[in-house]
Amino acid sequence: MSDWTVEDIEKLGEQVEAEAAAAPDLQALEQVRIAYLGREGRITAALKAIGKMPADQRPAAGKAANLARQRAQQAIASRRKELEAAQTRAGADDQLDVTLPGVGPELGHRHPIMIVLEELCDIFIGMGYEVVSGPEAEWQALNWTALNYPPDHPAMDEQASFYVNDEVMLRTHTSPVQIRAMRARHQPDCPVRQLDWRVPPMEVLGHCRCTPSPVRVVVPGRTYRRESVTLTHHDIFYQFECLLIGEGISFADLHGTMATFVREYFGPNTRIRFRPDFFPFTEPSADFSINCEMCGGEGCRFCKDSGWVEIGGSGLVHPNVLTAGGYDPDKVSGFAFGFGVDRLAQRRFHIEDIRTLYENDMRFLRQF
């Protein structure tokens, strides 16, 4: 006769599950396995005892013992998995070698265009100029009309510009900021400050009820033109604009300011050359070049053997543009000039293809 009852056997499953779950490590779990499933284990003993039980109890006892064995195997296997995973995690932590040199975060790099722009701004701030900006999506009225472009000027052709809608476009140059800067220098209560940008330029002066302050600003900024991309032309590029308005400003002031700027930026022996040009917003207008710093003016492939490198456009502010800014052309005058920044960056860092400046290739950017 056996001492085992069916109830005893049924309880084994519950007991082994509780003990397996409580095992703190793999060694303790092995002890649980031996205690229940080992040769002398309790479930093994129960299975052996079935043959000695009364015949009517054997089927139920056999079923209970098999179930207990199944529960024991599952409980032990799942606890083993948990304990092994914990051990792997702990092992990984142990592998941290605190004596290894640290990996420093990689420092960012300034974009070559930003390096040039900051240097340009510093030079002009040193001369008492204020750095201002304007929107890249600009009123057509400011990009063209207020700058004295006649309605049929070829530059307004859709081919050369990106239009957003009938009134807004991506600015093709930084010159529209001239108008914004002028109107911002009217006294706070002057109606010109509140005027719609689309008011016909020749009417603006009629709204002025103040004496606007002199203007001395530079404008670094991104510009857009619908052009074929080449080594030196892009459809996105940066310009740098300078505007001075006050009493008695003449071409001599333009020349003096530019001479100071080019000597600071390109070197003390730099010379400037003006040649007559045309811009609707300046009169007279001139393009300006400097002697080629690569060959010292002798002629080389960088200056196409001319000894001169064209930098940008300049001139005295046209009376109609002063009027569009609310300034009386009989009382004040001014000069303006503007040039491309990308080409300066290309020369400074010997970058042959302007596209490299806009591709964001880290191998290129890491060099600066």
How far is Cα 204 from Cα 141, in angstroms, rounded to an integer? 13
Does residue number 138 form part of the binding site for ligand FA5 (CB under 6 A)? no
Does residue number 343 form part of the binding site for ligand FA5 (CB under 6 A)? yes
Mask of contacts with ligand FA5, 90-129, x by CB under 6 A? Answer: ----------------------------------------
Q: Which two tokens stand for residue 334?
A: 């001014």
Helical spans, DSSP H, in 134-291:
140-143, 176-184, 201-207, 251-266
Does residue number 143 form part of the binding site for ligand FA5 (CB under 6 A)? no
Task: Out of 221, 313, 325, 334, name the contact with ligand FA5 by CB under 6 A.
Answer: 313
**Nearest residue to the partner ligand FA5, using Cβ:** 340
Mask of contacts with ligand FA5, 266-305, x by CB under 6 A? Answer: -------------x--x-----------------------
Which region among 135-143, 245-253, 319-327, 335-343 touches ligand FA5 (by CB under 6 A)?
Answer: 335-343
Q: What is the dihedral of CA 310, 335, 250, 191, to 10 degrees?
A: 170
Which region among 44-52, 105-113, 333-341, 356-364 touches ligand FA5 (by CB under 6 A)?
Answer: 333-341
The nearest distance, CB 312 to ligand FA5, in angstroms, is 4
**Three-class secondary structure assignment of 110-135:** CCHHHHHHHHHHHHHHHCCCEECCCC
Residue 161, C-beta contacts closer than 8 angstroms, at least 6 positions apart: 143, 155, 169, 170, 172, 224, 225, 226
Which region among 3-11, 130-138, 200-208, 338-346 touches ligand FA5 (by CB under 6 A)?
Answer: 338-346
Q: Which two tokens stand for residue 322?
A: 């002063």
Task: Out of 140, 239, 257, 320, name the contact with ligand FA5 by CB under 6 A.
Answer: 239
How far is Cα 198 from Cα 139, in angstroms, rounded to an integer? 8
251-282 core/surface letters (b: 16 or more CB in 10 A; e: else): eebbbebbeebbbbbbeeebebebeebebbbb
Phi-psi sector, 328: left (phi>0), alpha (psi -120 to 50), beta: beta
How far is Cα 344 from Cα 340, in angstroms, rounded to an integer? 7
Task: Out of 208, 262, 272, 336, name the contact with ligand FA5 by CB under 6 A.
Answer: 336
> Which residues, numbered 167-226, are part of the site for ligand FA5 (CB under 6 A)?
173, 175, 225
Q: Which two tokens stand for residue 113?
A: 């265009």
Size of the site for ligand FA5 (CB under 6 A): 22
Task: Out of 43, 241, 288, 318, name the contact with ligand FA5 by CB under 6 A.
Answer: 241
**CB-nearer residue toward ligand FA5: 17 or 342:** 342
Give residues in contact with ligand FA5 (CB under 6 A): 173, 175, 225, 227, 233-234, 237, 239, 241, 279, 282, 312-315, 336-340, 342-343
